[in-house]
Amino acid sequence: MFGVLWSEHCSYKHSKPLLRRLPTSGEFVLQGPGENAGAVDIGNGLAAVMKMESHNHPSAVEPLQGAATGVGGILRDIFTMGARPIALMDALCFGSGDHPRTEHLLNGVVDGIAFYGNCVGVPTVGGSVAFDASYNGNPLVNVLCLGIAPRDRIISSRASGVGNPVLLVGSETGRDGIAGASFASVELSADSEEQRPAVQVGNPFLEKLLIEACLELAGDEAIVAMQDLGAAGLTGAATEMVVHGGWGIDLDIAHVSRRELGMTPDEVMLSESQERMLIVAKRGSEERVQHVFDHWGLKSDVIGHITDSGLVRILDNGAAVAELPASFLSGGVEEFAAPDGMTPSPMPSPRGSSEPPFSPPDDLGAALLRVLALPNVCSRRVIIEQYDHMVQTNTVVAPGEGTAVLRVKGTSTGLALGLGDGGAVCAVNPRLGGALAVAEACRNVACAGARPIALTDCLNFGDPERPQVWRTLVDSVEGIRDACLALEVPIISGNVSLYNESEGEPIRPTPMLGALGVIEDVQRHARASIHEGQSIWLLGPLAASLPRSQYAMHVQGWTGGEPAGIDLDLERRVQECIRELVAAGTVSSATDVSDGGLAAALAELAIVSGVGIKGDGSWTTDPAGGRTDAILFGEAPSRIIVAARADRSAAAEAAAAKWQVPHTHIGVGGSEEIRIGHEIAIPVATARQHWAGGLEHLADGAGGQNAAS
């Protein structure tokens, strides 16, 4: 029990001192970190409940079940709070496309997410996929879940009340997943395949029943507390429920229903069998609570009761087999102390200073086609097609059509979800990478016309006992803090995943951020599309940075240089500007400029919309923007492409001037070509062919037959 609860996965002994640096309160926050998930007020008496979790190590050794049970676990974090899960998003990282395991891991993980989410009836409404050699042996599988609950029916996980019964409900307990928390707290090696028993096995159909039963009890005065059984199984759930209030708990494991014979007490306490919940009910209400679970065909066993002893006492048929102080078991592990004199690195200046060692190519059109086919830029349609994104009928903007937007039924409110991945820049400047991840996530929801009100994070790093890894963790958290404060968006929940290494090599530091935004009128939202005759504008700076760009690294083969920093005040103004333009109905099309740069973003708009772009090209030779390939393919934050009817161009310019946002007229929608001055002239059909086929050699999907859509 000490082994699992004092593991890094459960104790956060390295990251707790850093996480205390993050802002966690705000105008809309109802519940910050400390519960199963965070909750924010979205009006109309409703709360949005959100969290992101990782399932990296299990997915490395058993990708389908590892990813599937990652989905099951994050769903339980949400409905444990009394919220109905309405959306999933995934943030995935795999090794290089030519590595022998990448295809196996990618297809297994995607199959696992699709299997569990589709079967349980929760839509996967968006996500991200990144490829880099540092993930060759250790993929990242981060999953975000969003739920909705009446704000007065949110359930706590904090037990209380001497004599109140403790019920274990859901699946029977087996030997799958034993010591999974400990497995997640060590680096992967050649022997990791032997640890498949530490990977849980999921049953989404049973979880669907569990969702309905638990939500039926949400708000019932008979329910004192509810906690899902995730990492550390019964040991973790029981201890976490009583430790905060100074209570104790007595459990008799002889009453735990099992699906395997001969299980020992330690196996019962350490099993991480899925689809299980621990419930504390008011004394005398046991039969009524059990009747609800009986109605849904679920097991429910009274296995113990709450005490005032402050102890976690484990009995087996009345005989004590363990008796431990709850506070010491849960929080007695010593937190890591940073080396004396270690302070965060400074944030770099907003402009990069490295001059690339290559000249702009003669054929920029050919360069664009190569960029569009890169794994980090190309279409994700072959993956998206495997996910049901319309179940529950809340999805307003589908995957691949822009930022995910969902309706809140019975209201005019819309919710937007966005992701930010700081891995590429964190590899060379972790503080900047952390800030960029926050800015990207918030910019994504702003592109839909939403105001970001909360963030959830998933921090993926290597062995923190290595000084360099610890340094990257310190700097990344500080960068996240910088951006949260500047954009005034709090972190309400999250997860830290350390020891992401294989054969002694750490992954690149990868902070993943998920943002939740609110749209007052869901009818007024923007998506990534353009129409014939619309004027196309760039909000934000024209100049961009070539270092660490997809073009520089994977087309030109240059991995050096320092990327440009971020002007967080400009980022805030760009986001305010786009929200105002969407709310006023001035623009209905918006997309941020990210991997592949401005030219790739314009090409993707044309491909998705089936409408060409006629750019006059004057901006490609703007001296202030630098060299032409940097303008076209360089990458920088705080940039959004918008499209508006020609008669609304003046209003768009006025809003940009009001918010002091640089803006550039790019061109107009029309024709069957992507034309940018004299530099690029490519048929949309040709661009689509390159962009659509980038993952066909890796992802099974639907055989690639619909990848061009």
311 contacts: CB under 8 Å, gap ≥ 6: 248, 249, 323, 324, 325, 326
Structure tokens at 158: 């904090």
Q: What is the mean pLDDT of residues 349-367?
A: 84
Q: Give the end of a domain, one of 506, 521, 536.
A: 521
The question of whether 697 is a catalytic residue gets the answer no
What is the rounded distance in angstroms from the CA atom of residue 549 to the CA atom of residue 469?
23
Domain co-membership, 497 together with 349 = no
Q: What is the pLDDT of residue 179?
A: 59
What is the rounded distance in angstroms from the CA atom of residue 533 to the CA atom of residue 669?
5
- Identify whether the C-beta of residue 486 lies closer than 8 Å to the C-beta of residue 434: no
Q: What is the CA radius of gyration of the chain?
A: 25
Considering the domain boundaries, does residue 129 fall inside one?
yes
pLDDT class for 706, splitting at 50, 70, 90? Answer: very low
Considering the domain boundaries, does residue 3 fall inside one?
no
Q: What is the pLDDT of residue 135?
A: 97
444 contacts: CB under 8 Å, gap ≥ 6: 403, 416, 418, 419, 420, 515, 592
What is the rounded distance in angstroms from the CA atom of residue 178 to the CA atom of residue 175?
6
Considering the domain boundaries, does residue 385 fall inside one?
no
Domain co-membership, 362 together with 441 = no
Domain co-membership, 297 together with 167 = yes
Q: Give the end of a domain, one of 521, 544, 579.
A: 521
Tokens 């999933």 found at? 88
Domain co-membership, 697 together with 642 = yes
- Identify whether the C-beta of residue 333 lies closer than 8 Å to the C-beta of residue 17: no
- For the cut 90, the answer to whether the pLDDT of residue 459 exceeds it is yes
According to DSSP, residue 471 is labeled H
pLDDT class for 703, splitting at 50, 70, 90? Answer: very low
- Identify whether the C-beta of residue 360 lies closer than 8 Å to the C-beta of residue 629: yes
377 contacts: CB under 8 Å, gap ≥ 6: 371, 550, 595, 596, 600, 691, 694
294 contacts: CB under 8 Å, gap ≥ 6: 300
- Dmax (CA) for the chain in angstroms is 84
The question of whether 295 is a catalytic residue gets the answer no
Domain count for the chain: 3
Whole-number average pLDDT of the chain: 92
Q: Which of 14, 55, 305, 389 is catalytic?
A: 55
Convert the pLDDT of each residue in 367-407 to its tens digit: 999 999 999 999 999 999 999 999 999 999 999 999 999 99
Q: What is the pLDDT of residue 350?
A: 67
Q: What is the mean pLDDT of residues 637-647?
A: 95
Domain co-membership, 408 together with 428 = yes
- Count of residues for the chain? 709
Structure tokens at 496: 């830290």
Give the count of beta carbons closer than 10 Å to the beta carbon of residue 318: 7
pLDDT class for 707, splitting at 50, 70, 90? Answer: very low
Torsion sign (Cα): 354, 358, 363, 366: negative
**Domain residues for 296?**
156-333
- For the cut 50, the answer to whether the pLDDT of residue 634 exceeds it is yes
Q: What is the mean pLDDT of residues 666-686?
A: 94
- For the cut 60, the answer to whether the pLDDT of residue 277 exceeds it is yes
Convert the pLDDT of each residue in 23-44 to its tens digit: 999 999 999 999 999 999 999 9
Convert the pLDDT of each residue in 212-261 to its tens digit: 999 999 999 999 999 999 889 999 999 999 998 889 999 999 999 999 99
What is the rounded distance in angstroms from the CA atom of residue 382 to the CA atom of residue 109?
14
- Identify whether the C-beta of residue 145 lies closer than 8 Å to the C-beta of residue 436: no
Tokens 């952390």 found at? 434
Q: What is the mean pLDDT of residues 483-507?
A: 95
Domain co-membership, 534 together with 449 = no
- For the cut 80, the answer to whether the pLDDT of residue 621 exceeds it is no
pLDDT class for 345, splitting at 50, 70, 90? Answer: confident
- Identify whether the C-beta of residue 639 lies closer than 8 Å to the C-beta of residue 577: no
For residue 407, what is the domain's CATH number?
Answer: 3.30.1330.10
Phi, psi of 642 (to 5 degrees): -125, 155
Considering the domain boundaries, does residue 453 fall inside one?
yes
Domain co-membership, 196 together with 79 = no
Q: Give the end of a domain, one of 487, 521, 555.
A: 521
For residue 374, what is the domain's CATH number?
Answer: 3.90.650.10
Q: What is the pLDDT of residue 324?
A: 96
What is the rounded distance in angstroms from the CA atom of residue 407 to the CA atom of residue 42?
12
- For the cut 60, the answer to whether the pLDDT of residue 701 exceeds it is no
Q: Which of 9, 57, 244, 305 is catalytic?
A: 9
Domain co-membership, 557 together with 700 = yes
Q: Which of 411-415, 433-437, 698-702, 703-707 has the lowest mean pLDDT?
A: 703-707
Domain co-membership, 149 together with 171 = no
What is the rounded distance in angstroms from the CA atom of residue 291 to the CA atom of residue 559?
62
pTM: 0.94
Helices within 448-567 (DSSP H only)? 467-487, 550-554
Q: What is the pLDDT of residue 207?
A: 97
| 509 class by beta-carbon count within 10 Å (0-12 exposed, 13-18 middle, 19+ buried) | buried
Q: What is the pLDDT of residue 618?
A: 83
What is the rounded distance in angstroms from the CA atom of residue 667 to the CA atom of residue 533?
9
Q: What is the separation, in whole angstroms, between the first and last Cα of the chain?
A: 51
Domain co-membership, 353 together with 371 = yes
Considering the domain boundaries, does residue 391 fall inside one?
no
Considering the domain boundaries, does residue 651 fall inside one?
yes
What is the rounded distance in angstroms from the CA atom of residue 289 to the CA atom of residue 568?
51
- Identify whether the C-beta of residue 531 lies closer than 8 Å to the C-beta of residue 216: no
Considering the domain boundaries, does residue 350 fall inside one?
yes
Helix (H/G/I), strand (E/B), else coil: 661: coil
706 contacts: CB under 8 Å, gap ≥ 6: 381, 382, 385
Considering the domain boundaries, does residue 702 fall inside one?
yes
Nearest of 645, 661, 701, 696 to residue 571 by alpha carbon: 661
- For the cut 80, the answer to whether the pLDDT of residue 128 exceeds it is yes
- Identify whether the C-beta of residue 447 lies closer than 8 Å to the C-beta of residue 126: no
Domain co-membership, 41 together with 108 = yes
Q: What is the pLDDT of residue 159?
A: 96
Pairing verdict, β 451-460 and 223-228: unpaired
Domain co-membership, 270 together with 349 = no
Q: What is the pLDDT of residue 336?
A: 85
Nearest of 244, 214, 179, 238 to residue 35 by alpha carbon: 244
Nearest of 122, 41, 14, 27 to residue 77 by alpha carbon: 122
Q: What is the mean pLDDT of residues 60-88?
A: 96
- For the cut 90, the answer to whether the pLDDT of residue 164 exceeds it is yes
Helix (H/G/I), strand (E/B), else coil: 320: strand
- For the cut 70, the answer to whether the pLDDT of residue 356 exceeds it is yes
